Structure 1
Amino acid sequence: MLMTVTDIEARTGQTYEDEQLDRVNAFVGDVTALVESYLGRTYTTSTPPAAVRAVACLEVIRYLNTDPGVASDRIGDLSTAYAYGGAVVVLSRDAKDALRPFRWKSGLGSIQIISRYIPEPGSTA
């Protein structure tokens, strides 16, 4: 995992118990999966960079402070609009921007081969 419940508690100043603890653990797992998928790597055996951990923690805190999927709400005539088709657990644009430098660079490149043997002009070698 990129973070623990203790990391979230340290940042929010709250102690989570019972159902709230289950909710935080679920978000920790969801955010870890989303961040690692976005980055194209996992941190099972190594410690993630502090910036990656910080962004992941902020995303969990954002989810804790958001009604599930609500993008906007209006009181007069009671109107509610949902974001992401009602799914709350997606990485924010700000999180993606902050994580971009840590993304796995995949793709094909070229390799330049240099030979120390350069035949002289006119040689048969």
Structure 2
Amino acid sequence: MPLATVDDVAARIGRPVAADETARVSAFLLDVTGLVEDYCGRDMDRRAGQSITLYPEGGSALPVPLRYQTFLTVAGVLQDGQAVTDYRFNGRALVRDSDWGESAVTLTASWGYESVPAALRAVACSEVIRWLALSPGVESERVGEVEVTFSGASSAQTLSTATRTTLRPYRRQGAGSITLRREGPALDLRGPVVL
């Protein structure tokens, strides 16, 4: 399912989408949904009763990929054809007191947003409107001093910088960064000191 509808786009452009534009707008909505999900590293649309196969590497924690973590509810867990019930989901992994071993684990689960957040709907509509405003083969246009940039072999259907900024709260969060310090005397970066 796309993050927005043709009617959402029509409401934002202030006119009905013409019959000959409907197929194009629908395709753009699917495209932008895919680009947003790929950029954020997670599924946004609700998937219900789906199977996920995870491969443990030993230990008591079985990490669930971030793509599936958005409002994840686990209905059942199978390992070697047997139901597993002695686990808990801590928001990132299935944890149990015993070791998961090395055989595949199959989850029956649901994940994703029940209804699309307003920010994601707005992003999808704004990207589609931006794409509709560009002529095929044109990457950007400027009115003052008339400037047109033509795209190369790649498509102009990419997420804008503003959209990427808006999507920051929905994006996969990595491990973060660490500060490395070297042992030894501290350097004075202000330069030489004159007395």
TM-score (norm 1): 0.71
Tell me what 2:4 maps to: 3
Hey, which of these two has a bigger chunk of helix by percent? Answer: 1
Corresponding residue for residue 39 of structure 1? 40
Count of residues in correspondence between the two structures: 104
State the distance in 2 between where 1:104 and 1:94 align: 18
Q: What residue is the counterpart of 2:153 in the other structure?
A: 85
Question: Does the 8 Å contact 1:63/1:88 carry over to 2?
Answer: yes
Seen in structure 2, the aligned counterparts of structure 1 residues 20 and 70 have a Cα distance that, compared at 3 Å, is: same
Deviation at 1:107, TM superposition (A): 4.5
What is residue 119 of structure 1 aligned with on the other side? none
- What is the Cα-based RMSD across aligned positions, in Å? 2.5
2:105 matches 1:105: no
Identity of aligned residues (%): 42
Q: Can you give the 5+ residue segments of structure 1 that lack an aligned partner in the other structure?
A: 74-78, 109-125
- Determine if contact 1:71/1:83 at 8 Å carries over to the other structure: yes
Compute the displacement of 1:106 (Å).
4.2
Higher strand content, 1 or 2:
2
42-51 or 99-108, which deviates more: 99-108
Offset of 1:86 from its aligned partner? 4.5
Matches within 5 A, 1:39-58: 39-45=40-46, 46=113, 47-58=115-126
* Aligned partners of 1:68 and 1:87 also within 8 Å: no
Is the 8 Å Cα contact of residues 70 and 83 (structure 1) preserved in structure 2? Answer: yes
Unaligned runs of at least 5 residues, structure 2: 47-112, 142-146, 177-195
Query: Which 10-residue stretch deviates more, 54-63 or 64-73?
Result: 64-73
Is 1:20 aligned with 2:21? yes
C-alpha deviation, 1:84, in angstroms = 5.4
